[in-house]
Amino acid sequence: MDKFYHSVRLDESLCKGCINCIKRCPTEAIRVRGGKAIINKKFCIDCGECIRVCPHHAKLATYDKLEEMKKYEYTVALPAPSLYSQFNNLDDSNIVLNGLLRMGFDDVYEVSAAAELVSEATRRYISEHEEQLPLISTACPSVVRLIRVRFPNLIPHLLPLNPPVEVAAVLAAKKAMEDTGLPREKIGIMFISPCPSKVTYVKSPLGTEKSQVDKVLAIKDVYPKLLACMKAVAGEDFPAIGTSGKIGISWGHSGGEASGLFTESYLAADGIENVIRVLEDMEDQKFTNLKFVELNACNGGCVGGVLTVENPYVAEVKLKRLRKYMPVARSHMGDEEAVAIPWTTGVQYEPVFNLGNNMMESFSKLNQVERLVKKFPGLDCGSCGAPTCKALAEDIVRGDARETDCVYYLRENLHRLSEEVAVLADALHSNLHKDKDPIYILREYIQRISDEMSLLDKKEEDENEGRGVK
């Protein structure tokens, strides 16, 4: 399976070539070339930040449609804890669960129930592996991928436990086969996700060879149909089928996972930019006496995913309101559940940002980058299509860009050439170049100016063509 599968994609027909996405991408995975954005798949971590900030809706998330339910004889819905936060005045999670059954699912297995199992396993792991502290949560796939490609020194601190969605899928599939007698391929395990990152996890999982989730649906797609079904359920006597409590439901917002560990020695951060700052500080060993670090790429945690419908801060309030009516926990780990939780494969460093194939080549190219950066104005304006001057320099060294992509550098060259032409005119007037043909020298300078102007015109033409400007 492709380790660099991506659920975030670009619709070129909608892209206007603005620089909103390149300035906000946490891994500098996006460039604007020829008036259109380009996503470098090696650098992308599928955090969805570009989807969030694109004013033209040119960045899209790939996920499965509701029609996929028809492909299976038996379907099980895995609702994310953040799903409960999308509804007003919800005081009983059973309304949502029974609404999913009315939608057409044959069974429901709460991801929040699996989250309580993972919380219990985490508490045990922390007490047994003090040498790895602080441990970093592995629930957010984008954070794990970020560490994998950018913070290799922190890989040993990753909590080697499957995320709740995977644990839920394993247990749900086993239960469905026992209940129905059907083979696994006729059972559809369908996760209702708040973000594209989970889609990427299912296609190319970390910590396990193959995910047991078959399809990933978007909360925003499920929401309208589910809401209608919930209204019908609310007027009936419905069974209490929920199996999670406060600990599991809390996983839907930032700090919720850590709160289930019953310790004050933790740090919780949300929003990809804040996450990066925390990871940088961890590399510098600025944190002491911490046991656990919870990191969520989305603002507010999973309630802030780009596939949700509610404002993340409003959603968090709704989730806390629902939580107060619940017991602390309802799901507890037995021998069967314990088998599904640990990683079965390790996470390896992927040096996608290296400039060279070995240390000597990397140092050489790094020196080239530093020399190029000194030539550029240091404005980080984005007019070259790269987020920063340093990023442009790296692109040049990799062979993906030219120095003249920097408008300021190009204009500076033109200014310098014009000054040289003035000096040449004075020299010709003073007859200082007796050994050279004056006409030849003049033509040489004119050609250089023409070449520089052609590059500038070509850059503007490419950008206009990309934007559809005639």
Amino acid at 161: L
Contact of 26 with 276, CB cutoff 8 Å: yes
The DSSP-derived string for 16-48 is ---SHHHHH-TT--EEEETTEEEE-TTT-----
- Looking at residue 211, what is its pLDDT? 94
| CA distances in angstroms from 153 to 147, 283, 289, listed in the order given | 8, 7, 19
Contact of 186 with 74, CB cutoff 8 Å: yes
Q: What is the rounded distance in angstroms from the CA atom of residue 326 to the CA atom of residue 110?
A: 15
Q: What is the rounded distance in angstroms from the CA atom of residue 462 to the CA atom of residue 402?
A: 14
Burial of 218 (0-12, 13-18, 19+ CB in 10 A): buried
What averages of pLDDT result for each successive group of 10 residues across the chain (470 residues)?
Answer: 74 91 92 90 92 94 94 96 94 94 96 96 94 95 93 95 96 96 96 95 90 96 95 87 93 94 92 95 90 95 95 93 87 85 89 82 88 88 89 90 82 69 65 59 67 63 55
**Computed from CA positions of residues 379, 385, 387, 391, in that sequence, does the dihedral angle turn out positive or negative?**
negative
313 C-beta neighbours (distance < 10 Å), count = 12
Rounded to the nearest 10 degrees, the angle between the axes of helix 111-128 and helix 164-180 is 120
With vertex at residue 42, the alpha carbon angle to CA 370 and CA 294, rounded to the nearest 5 degrees, is 95
Burial of 22 (0-12, 13-18, 19+ CB in 10 A): buried
Q: What are phi and psi of 136, to 5 degrees?
A: -105, 130
- Looking at residue 52, what is its pLDDT? 93
Rounded to the nearest 10 degrees, the angle between the axes of helix 141-150 and helix 196-203 is 70
DSSP 153: G
- Looking at residue 406, what is its pLDDT? 85
Q: In DSSP terms, which residues pair with 294 in a beta bridge? A: 268
Q: What is the rounded distance in angstroms from the CA atom of residue 374 to the CA atom of residue 368?
A: 10
- Looking at residue 2, what is its pLDDT? 43
List Cβ neighbours of 433 (8 Å cut-off, separation of 6 or more). 427, 441
- Looking at residue 441, what is its pLDDT? 64
Q: What are phi and psi of 8, to 5 degrees?
A: -95, 130
